[in-house]
Amino acid sequence: MRINSELLKRENNMIRKIVMISIVIALSSFAYKGNNEAYSLTVKVHDLRNSKGVIQFALYNKEGTIPDERYTKYYKKLIGEIAEGTSSVTFDNLPPGKYAVNILHDEDKNGKIDKGLILPKEGIGFSNYESIGLSNHPKFSRASFELRSDMTTDVKVVYM
């Protein structure tokens, strides 16, 4: 009888361990899924002065990345076609966080900002900016916004 009760205790201990391990794995998978949140961000541009070229949409996610005249500090970049003076793109699978958008109406499709003496010849824009100038210089802190769900935003294009 003693052997059977000893065996029964071992089986019960083994069952408890299996149940505990299963619970830990299940809870871990729920926690992991919670950290894998991903959202989409749709960016729209209206009132383009013409339908030449494309719109370059650059997405930033770190302080100090804007301004970025050479487009080397972006997190993701998409190119949008122009139709009837508008363009839009959607950035998918973005983790929640702080983001800013910079657009370029790249009329000659060369991937960079063409300038006159000092000012851009092509249209540019930043999220949260209605105008851009020497006293209204773009900064990530001002252009940024929190992404905590799927979102759509409009960026105003500025021609100087």
Query: Residue 19: what pLDDT?
Result: 63
Q: Which of 90, 59, 64 is nearest to 77 (CA)?
A: 59
Q: What's the pTM value of the predicted model, to 2 decimals?
A: 0.77
Q: Where do the domains of the chain lie?
A: 1-36, 39-154
Query: Residue 118: what pLDDT?
Result: 84
Q: Which of 135, 134, 130, 132 is nearest to 122 (CA)?
A: 132
More confident residue, 11 or 107: 107
Q: pLDDT tens digits, residue range 9-67?
A: 777 677 777 767 777 777 765 555 456 799 999 999 999 999 999 999 999 999 999 98
CA–CA dist 155, 86 (Å, integer) = 11
CATH code that applies to domain 39-154: 2.60.40
CA–CA dist 148, 34 (Å, integer) = 13
Burial class (CB within 10 angstroms; exposed 0-12, middle 13-18, buried 19+) of 32:
exposed
Cis bond leading into 95, ω under 30°? no
Both structure tokens of 116? 């006159």
